[in-house]
Structure 1
Amino acid sequence: MAKPPARSKRRGPQLDRILLENLLDNDGALVGRGDDREAERYSRVDFSGRDFTGTRFAECEFHGVDLNTTVLRGSTWNECVATELHAAVFSAPRSSWRDVRIEHSRLGSVELYDSGLRSVQLDGSKLDFINLRNATLTDVLISNCIIDELDLSGATVQRLELRDCRIGTLDVAGARLTDVDLRSSDFSAIHSLEGLRGATIDDAQLALLAPLLAAQLGILVE
Structure 2
Amino acid sequence: MARAKTRGPQLDPIVLAGLTDADGSDLRAGDSREAERFTGCDLSGRDLTGIGFQECELRGVSLSDTQLRGASVADCVAGELHASVFSAPRSSWRDVSIEHSRLGSVELYEATLRSVHIDGSKLDFVNLRGATLTDVLLSDCIIEELDLGGATVQRLELRNCRIGTLDVTRATLKDADLRSSDFSAIHGLEGLRGATIDDAQLSLLAPVLAAHLGIIVT
Structure 1 length as normaliser, TM-score? 0.97
Partner of 1:90: 86
Unaligned runs of 5+ in 2: none
Alignment partner of 1:76 out of 63, 72, 75: 72
Alpha-carbon distance between aligned partners in 2 of 1:123 and 1:9, rounded to the nearest angstrom: 24
Partner of 1:65: 61
Alpha-carbon distance between aligned partners in 1 of 2:64 and 2:25, rounded to the nearest angstrom: 16
Partner of 2:4: 8
Partner of 2:179: 183
Alpha-carbon distance between aligned partners in 2 of 1:119 and 1:56, rounded to the nearest angstrom: 17
Alignment partner of 2:40 out of 38, 44, 48: 44
Question: What is the Cα-based RMSD across aligned positions, in Å?
Answer: 0.7
Alignment partner of 1:163 out of 147, 155, 159: 159
**1:123-134 equivalent positions in 2, closer than 5 A:** 123-134=119-130
Deviations 1:43-102 (A, max 9, x none): 000000001100000000000000000000000000000000000000000000000000
Q: Tell me by how many angstroms 1:17 deviates.
A: 1.5
Alpha-carbon distance between aligned partners in 2 of 1:6 and 1:122, rounded to the nearest angstrom: 32
Counterpart amino acid of residue 84 in structure 2: A
Identity %: 72
Q: Between Structure 1 and Structure 2, how many residues are aligned?
A: 218
Residue 203 of structure 2 aligns to a residue whose secondary structure is helix
Unaligned runs of 5+ in 1: none
Q: Tell me by how many angstroms 1:116 deviates.
A: 0.2
Deviations 1:20-50 (A, max 9, x none): 0000000001111000000000000000000
Deviation >2 Å, runs of 4+: none
Confirm whether residue 220 of structure 1 aligns to residue 209 of structure 2. no
Alpha-carbon distance between aligned partners in 2 of 1:11 and 1:106, rounded to the nearest angstrom: 29
Confirm whether residue 153 of structure 1 aligns to residue 149 of structure 2. yes
Residue 202 of structure 2 aligns to a residue whose secondary structure is helix
Q: Tell me by how many angstroms 1:157 deviates.
A: 0.1
Partner of 1:207: 203
Deviations 1:152-192 (A, max 9, x none): 00000000000000000000000000000000000000001
Counterpart amino acid of residue 148 in structure 2: L
